């Protein structure tokens, strides 16, 4: 619900459990008044402290800058007195930067508008608010859009900048939102890592000054993540206050927390202003990405379940949310580049006998690619490897009762390729410099429409040529030297954002042209596991490291925000190809269970003992698949925190069914069993666990004892069923 109290000039946005309140001052400044537990009144303009602030402009014109340095601006602007982190900066045609946005009008409506060229949450059964702010001197109009998702306790925010002047101006900073908090938050929650160890959870203290996480890699990257949350000191997985922001964007981002001289806290998120600018001609507008914000007083777990429900109900492709995803086998770790059609069919023949449902042909099927140093951009089948052509191979795999999927890396070009020899100017590079390689490849210049159309045309030809039912879209290097020969000097700052827009355009075309193809995104593993990509693909390859112990930490961080069903998770070869760790086959499967599930190995070479386990592993996955897709996720214990074991639960919405996963990484000597307090059950219900009956109240307060054999790397999956 959204209401505007015209007498008090107060906007109040209510979800089921929260209220978000803004107010307009006499001068026209829009301030953030309150965000927290639901309140029943709009009579809180006093909390802006206008009467207490020194030098309020309407009372004392000589102190406006002092006023701006304290005012909790809803969308802070730079250059006119707010010296904290701001959201927007514009350079006018004279080269001057300075903005003063004042309230102009607003509109409350029920049909949420789709963002132009950008992914955004759907708006079924929601209410939205547009607040129009303007700076008449610059000729800028800024529309702040809010949409309330009541049952998820989520509000989405986005911004449009319009040039209403007769001259061009340059946007040099365009963040999506900020929150001004005058409350007892003390900690920051964020996600960090590197290739093969993405999204490890980090909790830090808020100190005076600024805390920044960001990416300048042309994608969110393995190292940081476009998410940030502020927590009360006592906040844990079950209770406490938490404020979270998650950006729906797949390029360079910045998220910052700043504690100012007065002890007030401002957190902001959006497109990274470093290496960004956008020329806006008269009459044009610029769409800023959407951000998902939420407040929960039910701790980190409450935040997580709100996000999961929101993504499933409003952002993921609805066709796939509850659809059965195929159990697949990918040939990458099985063969790398050393394969042909017969080898792939041999893998498919053995896999089909075991209940695996899809074969995915990974890198190496096109051009003359036998290593990672050639042929990207040459999207035609290498018939020396795939004899008889792609359709022949797909038909052979289909005849075994298996689906077929294929790998692409559409954004890249190899120096050793026909495409590069014909169009070297299609690669991003700085003038008069030798282009820099990464993984022996360049980035294509997606700011050029002819490049985007050419590449998509090649993908369309391949996908139309055979019964392909799955696409893995990869990106294996960051974007550097982001300069384009096709853009003038004053538009070079647009290259990185134009790349993201072109990426969205291509994936939009793909899912519309091939609605039955299951799209899985990937970027060297999990470098582009973000909300923007999830708008197009219901699942993303979580990490190139499928070692189950490392995956415990990666998946804990991923599932902090994103539903379990979005996580591409496979049973991989052993010793692990990245870290060399040896783990039991059943542990690898149990950890992959709470993801999309598949295999990343050569099923023709593993032992007969392991081969014999696969049908039971697949049956277990299918038994719990709907629960994983739709249930509530509860964290019981964290291996990242305790260094010894990991545990989590998924509970059905009606609380009649649940599954508990426990992984023992390091054996505790002289311990008879591990007692775990379960979560999410109905305290009034009776449950059957391992043939014994317990009350939900007992399981959640006294706990359940896990008995596990001695030895490291042990795992159990325990079914919990209502006895009623």
> Does 59 score more than 80 pLDDT?
no
Report whether 129 contacts 207 (CB < 8 A): no
Residue 497 lies inside a defined structural domain of this protein: yes
Residue 24 lies inside a defined structural domain of this protein: no
Helix 585-592 vs helix 608-630: angle between axes, to the nearest 10 degrees? 20
pLDDT on residue 66: 84
> Does 356 score more than 80 pLDDT?
yes
* pLDDT tens digits, 68-121: 888 999 999 999 989 999 999 999 989 999 999 999 999 999 989 999 999 999
Catalytic machinery residues: 474, 544
Any idea what the Cα angle at residue 220 is, between residues 646 and 597, rounded to 5°? Answer: 45
Separation of alpha carbons 329 and 351, rounded Å: 8
CA distances from residue 652 to 174, 195, 539, 632 in whole angstroms, order as listed: 41, 34, 21, 6
Same domain, 529 and 653: no
pTM: 0.97
pLDDT on residue 295: 98
Range 393-414 average pLDDT: 98
Range 688-711 average pLDDT: 92
Same domain, 682 and 627: no
Band the pLDDT of 542: cuts 50, 70, 90.
very high
Based on the number of CB atoms within 10 Å of its own CB, is 52 exposed (0-12), middle (13-18) or buried (19 or more)?
Answer: exposed
The distance of Cα 698 from the centroid of its chain, to the nearest Å, equals 36
Using the 3D structure, point to which of 564, 599, 631 is the last residue of a domain: 631
Band the pLDDT of 61: cuts 50, 70, 90.
low
Strands 127-135 and 227-232: unpaired
pLDDT on residue 471: 98
Band the pLDDT of 297: cuts 50, 70, 90.
very high
Same domain, 365 and 302: no
* pLDDT tens digits, 450-485: 999 999 999 999 999 999 999 999 999 999 999 999
CATH number for the domain harbouring residue 466: 3.20.20.70
Report whether 74 contacts 92 (CB < 8 A): no
pLDDT on residue 54: 59
Non-local (6+) Cβ contacts of 495 within 8 A are 428, 445, 447, 482, 483, 484, 487
pLDDT on residue 53: 62
Range 346-351 average pLDDT: 98
Residue 426 lies inside a defined structural domain of this protein: yes
DSSP class of 714: E
* pLDDT tens digits, 270-286: 999 999 999 999 999 99
Band the pLDDT of 537: cuts 50, 70, 90.
very high
Range 301-317 average pLDDT: 98
Same domain, 311 and 330: no
Report whether 202 contacts 160 (CB < 8 A): no
Tokens for 120, please give them: 């955004």
Residues of the chain with pLDDT > 90, as a percent, come to: 92
CATH number for the domain harbouring residue 225: 2.70.98.60
> Does 319 score more than 70 pLDDT?
yes
Which residue has tokens 């996955």?
A: 621
Residue 321 lies inside a defined structural domain of this protein: no
DSSP three-state, residue 31: strand
CA distances from residue 622 to 319, 401, 609, 633, 720 in whole angstroms, order as listed: 19, 18, 21, 18, 16
Same domain, 330 and 312: no
Range 139-162 average pLDDT: 98
Report whether 419 contacts 426 (CB < 8 A): yes
> Does 712 score more than 80 pLDDT?
no
* pLDDT tens digits, 571-596: 999 999 999 999 999 999 999 999 99
Report whether 395 contacts 387 (CB < 8 A): no
> Does 57 score more than 90 pLDDT?
no
Range 502-507 average pLDDT: 98
Residue 51 lies inside a defined structural domain of this protein: no
Same domain, 359 and 259: no
Residue 26 lies inside a defined structural domain of this protein: no
Band the pLDDT of 711: cuts 50, 70, 90.
confident
Using the 3D structure, point to which of 255, 287, 316 is the last residue of a domain: 316
> Does 7 score more than 80 pLDDT?
yes
User: For the chain, how many structural domains are there in total?
Assistant: 3
Which residue has tokens 């059950």?
A: 681
CA distances from residue 100 to 21, 84, 106, 178, 288 in whole angstroms, order as listed: 21, 15, 18, 17, 19
Using the 3D structure, point to which of 575, 602, 631 is the last residue of a domain: 631
* pLDDT tens digits, 624-664: 999 999 999 999 999 999 999 999 999 999 999 999 999 99
Residue 282 lies inside a defined structural domain of this protein: yes
Separation of alpha carbons 585 and 582, rounded Å: 9
- Domain of residue 512 covers 326-631
pLDDT on residue 288: 98
Cβ density class 638-650: b for 16+ within 10 Å, e for less: bbeeeeebbbbbb
Region of 515 on the Ramachandran plot (φ > 0 left; ψ -120 to 50 alpha; else beta): alpha
Same domain, 362 and 475: yes
Tokens for 188, please give them: 């920051």
pLDDT on residue 120: 98
> Does 620 score more than 70 pLDDT?
yes
pLDDT on residue 184: 86
Same domain, 589 and 675: no
Separation of alpha carbons 638 and 622, rounded Å: 25
Same domain, 277 and 360: no
Q: Where is 300: in which H helix or E strand?
A: helix 299-310
């Amino acid at each position: 619900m959204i209401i505007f109290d015209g007498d008090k000039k107060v906007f109040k946005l209510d979800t089921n459990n929260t209220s978000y309140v803004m107010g307009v001052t006499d001068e026209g400044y829009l301030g953030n008044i309150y965000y927290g537990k639901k309140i029943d009144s709009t009579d809180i303009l006093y909390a802006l402290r206008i009467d207490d602030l020194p030098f309020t402009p309407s009372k004392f014109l000589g102190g406006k800058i002092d006023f701006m340095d304290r005012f909790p601006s809803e969308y802070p602007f730079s250059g006119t007195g707010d010296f904290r982190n701001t959201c927007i900066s514009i350079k006018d045609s004279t080269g001057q930067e300075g903005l003063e946005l004042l309230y102009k009008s607003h509109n409350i409506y029920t049909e949420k508008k789709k963002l132009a060229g950008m992914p955004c949450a759907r708006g079924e059964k929601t209410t939205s608010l547009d607040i129009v702010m303007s700076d008449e001197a610059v000729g800028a109009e800024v529309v702040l859009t809010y949409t309330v998702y009541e049952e998820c306790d989520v509000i989405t925010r986005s911004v449009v900048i319009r040039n209403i002047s007769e001259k061009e101006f340059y946007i040099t900073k365009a963040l999506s939102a900020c929150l001004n908090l005058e409350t007892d938050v003390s900690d920051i929650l964020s996600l960090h890592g590197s290739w093969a160890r993405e999204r490890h959870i980090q909790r830090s203290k808020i100190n005076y000054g600024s805390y920044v996480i960001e990416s300048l890699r042309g994608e969110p990257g393995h190292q940081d993540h476009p998410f940030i949350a502020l927590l009360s000191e006592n906040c844990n997985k079950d209770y406490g206050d938490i404020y979270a922001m998650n950006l729906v964007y797949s390029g360079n981002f910045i998220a910052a927390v700043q504690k100012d001289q007065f002890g007030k806290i401002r957190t902001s998120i959006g497109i990274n202003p470093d290496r960004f600018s956008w020329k806006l001609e008269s009459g044009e507008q610029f769409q800023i990405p959407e951000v998902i914000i939420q407040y929960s007083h039910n701790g980190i777990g409450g935040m997580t379940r709100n996000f999961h429900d929101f993504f499933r109900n409003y952002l993921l492709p609805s066709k796939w949310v509850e659809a059965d995803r195929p159990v697949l086998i990918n040939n990458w770790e099985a063969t790398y580049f050393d394969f042909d059609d017969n080898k792939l069919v041999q893998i498919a023949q053995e896999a089909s006998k075991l209940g695996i449902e899809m074969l995915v042909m990974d890198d190496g099927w096109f051009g003359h690619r036998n290593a990672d140093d050639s042929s990207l951009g040459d999207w035609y089948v290498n018939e020396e490897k795939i004899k008889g052509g792609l359709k022949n191979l797909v038909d052979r795999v289909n005849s075994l009762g298996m689906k077929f999927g294929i790998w692409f890396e559409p954004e890249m070009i190899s120096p050793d390729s026909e495409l590069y020899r014909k169009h070297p100017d299609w690669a991003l590079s700085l003038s008069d410099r030798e282009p820099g390689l990464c993984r022996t490849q360049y980035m294509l210049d997606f700011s050029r429409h002819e490049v985007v159309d050419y590449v998509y045309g090649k993908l369309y030809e391949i996908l139309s040529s055979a019964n392909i039912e799955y696409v893995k879209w990869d990106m294996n290097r960051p974007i550097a030297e982001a300069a384009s020969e096709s853009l003038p000097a004053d538009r070079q700052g647009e290259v990185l954002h134009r790349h993201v827009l072109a990426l969205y355009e291509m994936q939009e075309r793909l899912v519309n042209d091939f609605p039955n193809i299951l799209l899985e995104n990937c970027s060297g593993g999990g470098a582009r596991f973000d909300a923007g990509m999830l708008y197009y693909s219901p699942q993303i390859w979580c990490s190139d490291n499928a070692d189950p112990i490392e995956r415990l930490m990666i998946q804990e961080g991923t599932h902090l925000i994103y539903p379990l069903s979005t996580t591409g998770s496979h049973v991989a070869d052993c010793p692990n190809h990245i870290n060399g760790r040896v783990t039991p086959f059943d542990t690898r499967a149990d950890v992959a269970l709470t993801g999309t599930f598949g295999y990343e190995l050569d099923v023709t070479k593993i032992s007969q003992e392991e081969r014999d386990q696969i049908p039971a592993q697949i049956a277990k996955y299918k038994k719990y698949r709907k629960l994983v897709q739709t249930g509530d996720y509860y964290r019981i214990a964290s291996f990242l925190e305790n260094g010894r074991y990991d545990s989590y639960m998924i509970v059905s919405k009606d609380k009649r069914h649940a599954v508990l996963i426990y992984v023992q990484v390091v054996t505790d000597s002289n311990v008879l069993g591990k007692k775990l307090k379960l979560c999410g059950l109905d305290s009034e219900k009776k449950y059957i666990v391992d043939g014994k009956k317990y009350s939900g109240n007992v399981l959640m307060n006294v706990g359940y004892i896990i008995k596990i054999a001695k030895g490291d790397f042990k795992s159990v999956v325990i079914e919990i069923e209502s006895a009623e």
